Each structure stands twice: as structure tokens, then as C-alpha cells.
Structure 1
Amino acid sequence: MEDILEQAILLEANDDDIEYVILNHILNDGNDNNVQNVPVFNFDTLEAEQAKKYFRFEKQDIPRLVQLLGIPDIIVTETGHTCTGLDGLCILLRRLAYPNRLSDLKVIFGLSAQSLSQIINKTVNLILEGHRSILEDLDNVPWLTQEKLEYYSQAVAAKGAAVQNCWGFIDGTARRICRPSINQEAYYSGHKRWHCLKYQSVVCPDGIIISLKGPYLGRRHDAGIFEESNIYMELERKCTFGNVNFVLYGDQAYPLSNLLLCPYPNPARLPNGIQRLRQENFNNSMCQVRLAVEWGFAKIVREFAFLDFHKNQKLLLQDLGKMYKCAVLLINCHTCLYGNQAATYFNVIPPNLETYLEH
């Protein structure tokens, strides 16, 4: 109880959310499997404001998501638990939206922790079976055309970037996990000084995370992950058009190449002069636009705070990689529907939901 309440305060939860945590703890403590007195969840009776608070999506958009994500009308888990596809997505979204326990969800959905766990896992698998390919390989993104790359590049250049053909930004992110009971060294990041899983992302100016590679062990370096990910071969196929190339921009951990640029190393070491000034101006201009990467990562944990509660990220009890990948896919859907900070900053329009999920 104390851990969840502390996390709620750190996440600047409002009074209603904190009251919800306390009430659910009182109602559920020591009584995880007793669901007889809990009302059955009814999506239709939810107020629009309540649905947005619980699930992070507008109420009218959730049935549309069910359809476009290919979630069936009835979900049946491997152990025989059943629910509607709409309820399954709502359970998953509520799980992601807040740093909760499964028993905390019982008061909303009227299901046991075991049923909820099975339904969440099944819903994640259904979503990824249908759509994980659009995150894992740029070749599976038909709307990423030369015209779209030009649109992105023009938006970045309009913000003062020194590179005129930069269409996106690449970076690694480390998601902290609960210290595993085995292979602790493999998941420990000496740089972060905690245990984690690492991912490599490419973020577009509209905030869409268009590529997500991973998870990788926490001890891995970004350069090694980049080489293993094979994303450069995807860039060669997707971002070259005769004599016209479109490039990504990353930090100094990445190797400089035709399709991937990075900052000049230590221009301050150069003597004062035109070369030093040019390098410093280049780095400064690209640093400003590269903020889109951080905004993309920040939106994931802002909307889906469960992923930022590392004590619930237990490697041996759940497939953390699948959960994070599914969350990124859902966040991209959220961006398609409602936009985000990056899209506003660069003045670009994300693809519509149908276009994004096409593959």
C-alpha cells in the first residue's frame, strides 16, 4: 500500500486518484479472490470523463480501437477465462494507466486477479500478433513514403535544424525493472546504476515511435544494440531514392554514416575560429529539435504510469518486453487520435488511426 501511495504522490496524482488507491486497498486487502459483491463492469454506463480517466482514451474511441486492432468480440484465454474484446482492452488500458495491483482492478471489473492476469496477457498477445510488425521493421510501414519523409524533413528544418533532410531521431531508452533474482549482472546498467531492459526507438516529428527494437539486456551499449538491430539495412531500403537520402539524427553513441548523423565531438577543443563556430552551431541547432525523442518517451510513462513503477516490473512474473511494446503501439494510436507535444512543436499532423495500423 505504501509503495503504491508513494508512487501516486510522485506522479502528482489528484485527490480522486489518491482516494481511489486508499479505498481499493481497504476493500481488497486480504480478500483478493472474493468478487461476489463487486458489480459487473458495464462500459456503456461509464461517464465520458470517467472513461478518459480510467483508460486514457476518449470513450467513443475505445470501441473503434477494438475493431482496428483486430481484437475479437470474445476473448478466450488458454485457461478458459472469457470476456468481450471491449472489456479486454479496457482491462489492459486500466492496468497500464496506473501503478496498480491486479487486486486493485477487481473493484472495477468484478473479476479475480487470476482472470484479470490471463485476460491482460491474452489481449496483449492479440494486439501484438496483429500489429507488432509495424514497430519492428520499417518495411512494414507503407505510409512512410518519400513524400512523408520530405514532409517530416521540412518540419524539422523549419525549426532551425542545420540538417535539411533529417526525418527522425534515434535513441535508446532504459526501462527500470525490479531487481531479478537470477542473472542480475546481465540486466544491470552501470551508467544508470539500476537493473533495466533497454530499447532502441526512432521517433518522428509528429511523435510517432515508428521503430522499436528490443528488449535488450540492461548492460548493453547503444552502439551494440544499433548494430544488432539491423535498422541500418531498413534505412537503406526505406530512405534512399536515387541521389536523394533522408537521415536520422542520434547522439554520439551511434556510428556516423550516410543515413545516420550525430553531433560533432567536442568542438570546444578546437581553437576559436569559423570551424569551431560552425560545429557548435550545428550541434546546438540539432540539440533543440532532438527534444522530440525525450517527449516521445515521456508520453509513454505519463499516460501509462504502470510502466514507470519499477517494483511492479518483475521480469520472471510477466513478459515485460511484450507489455512495453504493446504500450508503445497504443501510445502511437493515442497520438494519431489526439496529437502530442512533438506534433505541436513541429506543426505536423500525425497519420490517422486507420493509416497508422495499415500494414
Structure 2
Amino acid sequence: MSTLSSSLIKLGVLTGDCDAFLLAAAAKRINKFNKSTFFCFDEIEVSRFKLDFRFEKADILRLKSELRVPDVLKMPNRTEFSGLICLCVMLRRLAYPNRLSDLQKYFGFSPQDLSYIFNSMINHVYGNFYHLLTSLQLWWLSLEHLKEFSGALVRKGCPIPSCIGFIDGTLHKTCRPTRSQQEVYSGHKRSHGLKYQSVVTPNGMVANLYGPIPGRRHDSYMLHESGLLDKLAVHLGGQEMYLYGDSGYPLHRSLITPHIGNQLSDQQKLFNLTMSKLRVCVEWEFGEIDKQFTFIDFKKNLKIFLQPVSKYYFVATILKNCQNCLYECQTSKYFGVKPPTLEEYLRNQNLN
């Protein structure tokens, strides 16, 4: 407890001054939940805040509120910390592959406390917002908005009048595991890792994320396991709308792929070229996740059987979507489609 707190408590107790006693109790509470002698939110320069935490300083309290981070978080070891500082710890850790000892110099907490804080925040965001990447029954994915997406693609030259987004798989590289190495080894990428399947819409949002599956598996296998196309067909209710994927995917009533073969007509070649230029937005968003939250791209520190690496990727994707809601991304600007607001995205506005 600080000298100021001790003096105020003595003053309140000895003189019966209720205001002094309440002030001392408040000071004691602040010291209890903000143990850091290094980190002060108000003193961080606005110009470097986004560099360190990936969100503007003016938006961080709004993000805390919409992520439903409580004012005080209780850790598994029964220590308690300010919710705002816990959010900052998670964002700072994901922003760059820092060691806990590096963050200790930044926040002033012990590595053990930082580990508790980081994992508790990851579990909080994943547990409360996982459905935003797995359910199609969301307000911003209504038929009205899907028609807006298809219109935006047509304006960019898409030859498919009812295309609503793009699908692709990515290998999230990890450290070589101590067991089951062949399961997670991708011969194509020459690396160990876990695969994920993403659907990106013209407003720059990752609308659906499936995974992880072993890195050796093919994209078509992942599509089958996800059941995404059947869910999409139900969601569309008979409407003729399609996703577009590369040649690694099979044709389906809700999925269109490029023409393949050695003797394609000029029209077919033009179709493939046009759709390839539009489909690259999926790669933009994969790259943006790794760029903004570089911690998940440092494979030497991602150990499959020791860390919840899949949770890290899901949480980073949710946060990337939150960034897009606040600042818009390259895909959104390119197609001219506004993403939902932060509140619309995180408040679970289901269609049902």
C-alpha cells in the first residue's frame, strides 16, 4: 500500500472523517488491481498506441466495453487485475512475438501473472465470441447484405452475378511437434502446421472460419469436414448465390471454381483471370491477420501440444474483424462495401 493510502486510512479512522476513509479505500482498491509501477494507460502517447496495441487509444475503452471485459478480472491463482490492463496485455502480446520477460519490463507484472492474464483474456474472447466465426445466422450476413456483396463484385467486373464471397484455406505454421509429426506436416508448404478455412466477404470481414485440421490435409477435405456448403444452402433458402474458390475445391451448387484443362477458350481464360484478381482479397485478409498480430506468425513459439494455438488464431481473427469495423481494410475499400460497426458485429445480432 502507498504512503498516501496509509496516511488517509489513519486520518479517516482517527478523526472519523468518512470522506477521507472512503478516499483511502478507493486508493487501496486502485493499488490492488493496478499493481504495475511501469504501465499507466493515460500516459501512453497517442501516436504510438496503435503501434503497440493495434487499436487507437480513443477506441480501446469502446473495445473493452463491446468485448464485455469486466472492470476487474480474477485470475485462476486468485489475484485480481484491472480489466483495461488485462486487455492491453493481450493486445500487446498478440501484436508482436514478445517474451513474457519482455512484457514484464513494459507492464511491471511478473511473468507468471502475465501468463495468467494473457490466457484468461484469450479464453474470455474465444468463449464469448467464437460463434461470430462459425455461425451464418448473423445480422450482417442477411440476404439483403449478401445481395449488396454480389452487387459490389459485379461492379468490379465479376462475371458471376450472384457471387457473395471467396473461400480459401491457409496453413498456420507451428513448431515441429514432439509427436504426430507426419499428421501436421504439409508436403506442399514444407512445414508443420494446422490448416484453417476462411470465407471472406467484400466488406473485408472473415465471415466464417473452420479449423484446425492437420496440416497434411487437402482443402477439399477441409471443406467436406466443415459442412459449410450445406449450411450455406440452408441459410440462402433456395436463393442462387455462390462462393468462389480456387481449383483445389470441387464444384457445388453453392461453390464455383475456375475452368481447368489445357484447351480453354479465350472466354474461359478471361473468366479465370478476372476471378483470380478478385479472389486475391482472401490472401489480403490472411496476410493482415499475420501482419497485425505477429505473435501467431512466429512458428518457433507455437507449440501444438503445449499451447492453445488454435484459440490464438481464432482470437486474432476476431480482433482483425474488429479492426476492420473501426478503420476499414484494403478489401472493404477496394470493393466499396462498408463493414458493420463494432457494436453491430460484437453484439450477437442473430437473424433468428
Partner of 2:205: 208
Partner of 1:248: 243
Does 2:110 match 1:112? yes
Does 2:291 match 1:302? yes
Does 2:258 match 1:269? no
Structure 2 gap ranges (5+): 1-34
Q: Distance in 1 between matches of 2:289 and 2:152?
A: 23
Q: Distance in 2 between matches of 1:239 and 1:342?
A: 23
Mapping for residues 220-235 of structure 1, pairs under 5 Å: 220-235=217-232
Q: Secondary structure at the match of 1:132?
A: helix
Partner of 2:304: 315
Partner of 2:61: 63
Q: Secondary structure at the match of 2:78?
A: coil
Give aligned pairs, total.
314
The alpha-carbon deviation at position 38 of structure 1 amounts to 7.2
> 2:109 is matched by which residue type in structure 1?
L
Mapping for residues 175-190 of structure 1, pairs under 5 Å: 175-190=172-187
The alpha-carbon deviation at position 334 of structure 1 amounts to 0.3
Structure 1 gap ranges (5+): 1-36, 271-275
1:231-269: per-residue Cα shift (whole Å, max 9, x none)? 1122012223x4x32110001121211111110112x42
Does 2:271 match 1:282? yes
Q: Secondary structure at the match of 2:165?
A: strand
Partner of 1:350: 339
Mapping for residues 1-359 of structure 1, pairs under 5 Å: 39-139=37-137, 141-240=138-237, 242=238, 244-266=239-261, 268-270=262-264, 276-359=265-348
1:100-125: per-residue Cα shift (whole Å, max 9, x none)? 11111111111111111111111011
TM value normalised by structure 2: 0.86
Change (3 A) 1:319 1:346: same
CA contact (8 A) 1:103 1:113 kept: yes
Identity across matched positions, percent: 45
Q: Secondary structure at the match of 2:193?
A: strand
Partner of 2:27: none
1:306-359: per-residue Cα shift (whole Å, max 9, x none)? 111111111222100001100100000000000111111111111111111132
1:258-303: per-residue Cα shift (whole Å, max 9, x none)? 111110112x424xxxxx1221111111111101101110110111
Q: Secondary structure at the match of 1:269?
A: coil
1:131-175: per-residue Cα shift (whole Å, max 9, x none)? 111101212x22211110011111111111111111110000101
1:24-64: per-residue Cα shift (whole Å, max 9, x none)? xxxxxxxxxxxxx9733211221111211110100011111
Q: Distance in 1 between matches of 2:346 and 2:161?
A: 28
Q: Distance in 1 between matches of 2:82 and 2:317?
A: 23
Alignment RMSD, CA only? 1.4
Say which one has the larger Rg. Answer: 2
